[in-house]
Homo-oligomer: A and B are copies of this chain.
Amino acid sequence: MGLIVQKFGGTSVGSVERIQHVANLIKQEVDNGHSVVVVVSAMGKSTDQLADLACEITPRPSPREMDMLLTTGEQVSIALLSMALHELGLDAVSLTGWQAGILTEGVHQNARILDIDEQKILRYVEEGKVVVVAGFQGITREGQITTLGRGGSDTTAVALAAALGADRCDIYTDVTGVFTADPRIVPTASQLKEISYDEMLELANLGAGVLHPRAVECAKNHQVKLTVRSSFEAVEGTEVKEEALMETGKVVHGVAHEDQVTKVTVKGLKNEIGTLARLFNLLAEYHINVDIIVNQNIQGQERTHISFSLDTQDLDKALQVLEEHKAQLDYEDVVFEREMAKVSIVGAGMISNPGVAAKMFQSLAEAGIEIKMVSTSEIKVSCVVPRKDMVKAVQALHSAFGLDRVAEKVSASN
């Protein structure tokens, strides 16, 4: 008899039939006696279609106007889903981001949620209504419409679950849960029953694509009980929680990949205290997300090179910012390598298992794959490799760390 937040992504509401199906999934929870707050994304490819329209008009649309444009996508979804719920005899009301009191910072296209006025939703919940909230969007204190960036609807759902003190947050998507690797690339990948926030965070950041990283972070910070499940198949999903069940003998729980990676190297920077800070503060100021950073600082040398990886779509902006601040940063040259990919292994058990990184490098070397950059954390190791080798790399690692479903069975029967 609790309060549940359900989130449905674009493919889950991609057509009138899908919306009607989603209405039925919501009705099941209402019939179980729960109060339900729903978060939806824009229908299927509608966001892309709107973005295409903008592109026809200008190659560099104003971020404010892009937010104005794109937020209509979710507004269409919430209206249609509410109508579908009415058809099932449920009392439902739709709310845009600003109507739901989702206050964000003023960064268009990539705003973070600052606060949620939960009373704006609770007053409807208390009236017995299903509240259908537009994901991905919010409003600034000045009344400007903002969006949360790609995958932002997940963040909306988790933030709402946290603000409302929801008992559960179910993220419905087009896959049945979190897998040991992308099943499209590794056919022997299997679904995880549970995963910890930290591992999920690494996987989300590493491009597993199932959940938006900020959503996982928010869930961890507020201890929101998160489930990833399918709106297409009525099967159990993957639970994301603080302490996930450790599968015996598995140090690595998943292999992730990301294919839009570019490596940038800024050459001949002054080798002095403050160089790194100056460079990355500048990029942050322009909202360029840098991923892996490598700086082999050789003591005594006057000039040093700093390499970093970023999403390929941010490359032009990054190059422009670097060019405009060349004098200030005092460097000699910038070079970049597109067509890179990042493959990563993730597992909470890694901390207590030395040699995991070494095993990864070994597997990649045996597969003849060149490693361009390396980054490690307590629970993951990432390598930037040429994109052409990405699939081979993921498969090799999945196998090397004993995640292959079939291989497992074979070895068990031996």
Known: A72-B72, A72-B76. A82 touches B65 (CB 8 A): yes
Q: Chain A interface residue count: which class?
A: 35 or more
Closest to A84 in B: B57
Chain B contacts of A98 at CB under 8 A?
Answer: 98
State which of B20, B68, B73 has its C-beta within 8 Å of the C-beta of A78: B68
Q: Is the CB of A58 within 8 A of B79?
A: no
Q: Is the CB of A68 within 8 A of B58?
A: no
- Write the A24-59 contact mask toward B (1 if CB under 8 angstroms, else 0): 000000000000000000000000001001101110
Query: Is residue A143 contacting chain B, with contact meaning CB distance below 8 A?
Result: yes
- Write the A167-210 contact mask toward B (1 if CB under 8 angstroms, else 0): 00000000000000000000000000000000000000000000
Query: Is residue A93 contacting chain B, with contact meaning CB distance below 8 A?
Result: yes
Query: Is residue A360 contacting chain B, with contact meaning CB distance below 8 A?
Result: no
State how many angstroms separate the Cβ of A94 from the closest Cβ of chain B.
5
Known: A62-B82, A68-B78, A69-B76. A87 touches B50 (CB 8 A): no
Query: Is residue A246 contacting chain B, with contact meaning CB distance below 8 A?
Result: no
Closest to A78 in B: B68
Interchain CA distance A79-B63 in the complex, whole Å? 10
Chain B contacts of A56 at CB under 8 A?
Answer: 16
Query: Is residue A2 contacting chain B, with contact meaning CB distance below 8 A?
Result: no
Known: A62-B86, A93-B64, A99-B143. A54 touches B69 (CB 8 A): no
Q: Is the CB of B68 within 8 A of A86?
A: no
Contact surface of A with B, Cβ cutoff 8 Å: 16, 19-20, 50, 53-54, 56-58, 61-62, 64-66, 68-69, 71-73, 75-76, 78-80, 82-84, 86-87, 93-94, 96, 98-99, 143, 145
7 A-B residue contacts at CB 8 Å?
A57-B84, A58-B83, A58-B86, A62-B83, A72-B76, A99-B143, A99-B145
